Structure formats: C-alpha cells, structure tokens
Structure 1
Amino acid sequence: MTAGAVYLLTGCVFLYRVCREHDWWALCLPLGAISMSLGFGVRILLHSPDHQHKTTLIPEEVLVSCSPAAYLAFNYIVYGRLLRFNIGSRHSLIRPNWIAAFFITSDVSTFVIQAAGAALLVSATTADRGATIFQIGVILQSVSYYVFCVFVTWTWWSIRKEKIATGRECWWTAYKVLGVSSVFIVVRTVYRILESSLSRTSVIRSHEIFLYTLDILTLFIAISFYLIWWPGRYLGRDSISGGLPNYQKVLKDENDTAYHPSYDYSQSVLPMGPRVYASN
C-alpha cells in the first residue's frame, strides 16, 4: 500500500513537471511510475482469495515487473538528447538520433518477452515455460542496459580526453544524475536475474524484504533524483556540441580567431573561422 502510494505521488509529480515544462519526450517516466503504482494496487486485491485468478494475477505481474522498462527508456532518451543538444555526436559510439531508437526498441522487445512469460506464470501447466521466457526477457533487458552503460562511460571518457568541457557546464548535472540512476538500475537488474533463476522456495524469493529493498526501493531511488534535478532544465545550455562552448568563446587578438586556451587546435577538425563573439 505504501509503495503504491509513493509511486503514484512520484508519478503525478513527474507528470506535472512534464506538462509544465512541455517536455513531452519524458512522458514515459510518469507513465511508468503510475503504472507501477497500479500494479501495487492490484497486488492488494490478491490478499483476498476471491481475487486470486488470472484476471487479477496477470495485470499485477505485468504492471509490477514490466513498468520499470519505462525508467530505462527515460534514461535512454536523456542520454540521446544530451548528446544531441549539449555534448555532440563526436562523443557517441553511434549517431545520437539512433541512441533512443536502438535501446528503446530493445526495451520494448524485452518488455514483450517478459509480459508473455508473466502471463504464462499464472497457470500451473505453463508456469515452467513462463518462468523460462520471463527469465530470458530479464536477462536480455539487463544486457541491453549494460551495453548502454558502456556507451555512457565511453562518452564521459571521450569528453575528458577532448578537454573542451571545463566540468562546470550545467549539463554535467544531468549527466551525473543519469550515471547515478544507472548504478541503482544495474543493482536492480542483478537482483532480477538472480531472482528469476531461483525457485520459489529460495530465500530471496520467499522473503519479500529482498523484493522491497533490491527492487522496489532501488528503482525508486533511481528515479527520485529526477525529482530534484529534472534533465529538461539543462538540455541545450552550455553546449559543446559545436566544439567550443559558447560562454568560453573569447577573442585572440593576435590572429583574430576564436580561441580557447585549453584546447589543442593543431588536432582540431573544426574550422577556424573569423572573429566570433560570445553569445549572451
């Protein structure tokens, strides 16, 4: 009950932020939180023997187990938009426009696999097959996110290597929050893989404390950072996507060109144009 109320409130706050800022690209985050709260609501009904049938079990399993895919999708979108509007495609392993499409396609595919497995779990005759299908979906979703983490780490390394960014750009806040959020999501994926591979009589699956601490609480922490540091506030500001961050463009009187003291122009692929003035 408490978990459902917390996720519902969090989802409503996210929805308010999306509507106020017109960040429609972020709609998956509040929808995921609200869907998960509905799953907890359905779970309450399962305490009554009268509601322990397929029409209740399937929605509960799908909503609680699969709604977190929306949180992963949100992180994919944030990363892609940071690359497009703040960081630049040169710091991406693939084209930024493909980031969200690639990983969200993977996310949706694994969501469907998990949902199919969850639907089979409620029947005694198909429970074993459903558990196998569900586990495959969990593993594939986790591997996809691990690959995503490699992308995020490589981008950070590439930015540091280039030495254009000073580390004081405002979008670093969104990037760091994305990284911290990913750490908690990775912890949750490890738990989900372990849980799906164990029998129902195992300690981890038979004690709900593990579910609430390593799954529900971990996911809440992963998305709660966005309540404070909403990424939409940082997109497009202090951009280095064109090479030099606007607020660092200064004049070098000797040759009348844009100049940045910490950047090695002998290695630059960017054209050295005429006089460039700092934007307001």
Structure 2
Amino acid sequence: MTAQNIAARAFGYVDPNFPNPGGENDTSIIIYGYTPSIAIAAFAAAWFFLHLITHTAQTFKYRSWWWLTFSTGLVFEIIGYIARSLSAKKDPYHLIYFVLNYFFIVTAPVFLAAGAYTILSALIARLGNKYSFLRPTFILAFFITSDTISTIIQVAGASLVGVKESRHQDPTTANNILLAGLAYQVFAMSIFVLLMVTFELRARHAIKEHGLQVFCLSFSISTLMIYMRTIFRLIETAEGLGGKLSTHEVYFACLEFAPIALVALLFCIWHPGRCLGAKVRSTNEKHRT
C-alpha cells in the first residue's frame, strides 16, 4: 500500500487548515483521526516532567529505590507527549511522531502499575499478612511477572504497528498483538484491584492505627485511575485505529491523560517513600501521611 493509497482508509483524515508537507515520512492522512491539540500535548509533557523531578527527588531523599519504576513510567509519558507536541505543532502527518507518541504513551502505565503492586506488598508487610489472602512476596512475584509479560506483548504489538504503518501495510495483526497485551494487563489488574479492596477492608483498623488512611485513599484512587485508563486503551485498541475512541481527542484527554496526571499528582503529595519508608518489606518504618 503506497502513501497515496493509505488515504483510502475509512478513517482517513486530512486537516484543511494544515497542508500536508509531503515529506519522506509523511502519510497522506493524519493517522490520529484529528490534528492533536498542542495545548494538551505541551501541558502534558510539562506536567509529567515536573512530576518526574519531584518524584525522583523524593525517591532519593527517602531512599525508596523501589519507587523508581514510577519515574521510568513518567519518562515514557514525557517522550510520548513530546512526540505528540511535534505532531500538533510541526507535522501531524509525520509517521515517526505518531509511532513514538503511540508506543510510549501506551506502554508507560505498565511501569506505573508496577509501583502500585509494590505499594500493596509494602502495606501488607507493615500491617500484617493476616489481612491479605496472598503473601506480599507472592503478590510482587505474580504481578511483576504479569507486568513483564504484558510489557513484552505490548511493546511487540506497538512496535509492529509502527513497522506496518511505516511500510503502509495493514496493521490489523500488530494491533491484535497489542490488544492481547492490554487484555492480559486488564485481567491482571482486575485481580489486583480485588486484592487491594479486600485487604484495605480487612485491615481498615490497622490502617487507622498507623495513620495511613489518607495515603491508602490516595493509593486506591490512583490504582483505579490506572485500571480505568487500561480498560479505555483495551476498548480503543479493540475498535482499531479508525474507531470512535481513537479518532476523538476528548476521549484521549479525559481517559488517557487526565487519569494518569491525577495519579502522578496524588503520589507526589503522598509519596510512597515518605509514607511507607525505604524498604518494601521493612516492618519498623515510621508511618506518616
């Protein structure tokens, strides 16, 4: 399929106010299905950069190295939104900008979710195994393994989407691989959400005694935001690149950017390193909210 023929796709969109530069890496349509908003993209890049600095600084301050996975996720968000900003301001037809935006923003929350898994393990270790159906070591092993599997599948799928698009070929198979990775992530996170809710209900008195009510509320909201965002991405990917969710930026802003931006803010205010301490399995940390 040539760059000219790609315009025949049903979801083909051409911005009448943004002439196609016709460069080597430009497709004949805007694959997003719209011209991305520079305001959203630039604000998101700045927002996540600010939180990368504050999160990483607090991680070093409290020596909570286990929280660096969250900073890794923020780096992915920044790269993705910088690419999106280039699409919005410089050239929305540019394939490489789209691929970088798609790859990094889709895979970033995998690292953010890994931080959430570690928080639950740390809470169980501090408050008592009796409140959890599973031991913290098993939770870490199972969900980190699930994250690794999900990441590999999503990276493979997102990369193949980019390869297929660069060659102007049908990306359906690649999209299905990405869909499988997201489906597995939703499955794993569904189990995690159930474990989190049951643990917090059973340990509610211990949480109060340790002064961790506000932190646990922040943790719960953040986990649900990541979960909601993952479900959104699953449905969007199932629809395909030309679906309603992927071709209307309001859904992206409200169901991709906003939830993750809130997660970054909540964990910045109630940083896990400050509230739980330096070590995941430590039982003698001073708890503060």
Q: TM-score range by the shorter chain?
A: 0.7 to 0.9
Q: Partner of 1:205 in structure 2?
A: 246
Q: Does 1:64 align with 2:108?
A: no
RMSD of equivalent CA atoms: 2.6
Show CA shifts across 1:111-169 (max 9, x none).
11111111111214350101101111111111111100111112123225xx6x37242
Match of 1:159 among 203, 227, 230: 203
Instruction: State the partner residue of 2:271.
Output: 230
TM-score, reference length from structure 2: 0.74
Partner secondary structure for residue 239 of structure 2? coil
* Matching of residue 52 in structure 1 with residue 125 in structure 2: no
**CA contact under 8 A between 2:52 and 2:75: conserved in structure 1?**
yes
**Residue 109 of structure 1 corresponds to which residue in structure 2?**
149
Which of 116, 126, 132 pairs up with 2:176? 132
Tell me the residue number matched to 1:169.
210
Cα offsets for 1:196-248 (capped at 9, x unmatched) = 11133333211111101111111111231111111222326xxxx99xx9xxx
| Counterpart check, 1:220 vs 2:264 | no
For residues 235-250 of structure 1, what are the structure 2 equivalents within 5 Å?
235=276
**Matching residue's letter, 1:68:** P
What is the CA-CA distance between 1:187 and the residue it aligns to?
1.9
Of structures 1 and 2, the larger Rg is shown by 1
Looking at structure 1, the residues matched to 143 and 224 of structure 2 have their Cα atoms a distance apart, in angstroms, of 17
Contact 1:71–1:223 (CA under 8 A) maintained in structure 2: no
Change (3 A) 1:222 1:146: same
Q: Are 2:67 and 2:272, in contact at CA under 8 Å, matched by a contact in 1? A: no
Report the secondary structure of 2:208's partner residue.
coil
Q: Does 1:23 align with 2:64?
A: yes
1: CA distance, partners of 2:92 / 2:67: 38
Q: Larger relative contact order (C-alpha < 8 A, sep ≥ 6)? A: 2
Counterpart Cα distance in 1 of 2:93 and 2:175: 22
Is the partner of 1:8 in helix, strand or coil? helix
Q: Tell me, which stretches of 5 or more residues in structure 2 are unaligned?
A: 1-41, 285-289
Whether contact under 8 Å (2:51, 2:264) holds in the other structure is no
Runs of 5+ consecutive residues of structure 1 not aligned to the other structure: 246-280
* Shift of residue 53, structure 1, vs aligned partner: 4.2
TM-score scaled by length of structure 1: 0.76
Aligned to 1:202, the other structure's residue is in SS state coil
Aligned pair 1:78/2:122, yes or no?
A: no
Task: Tell whether 2:145 aligns with 1:145.
Answer: no
- CA change 1:198–1:50 in 2 (3 A) is closer
Q: 1:79 to 1:6 in 2, by over 3 A?
A: same
Determine helix, strand or coil for the equivalent of 1:205. Answer: coil
Cα 1:53/1:214, change in 2 over 3 Å = closer
In the alignment, what sits opposite 1:7?
Answer: 48
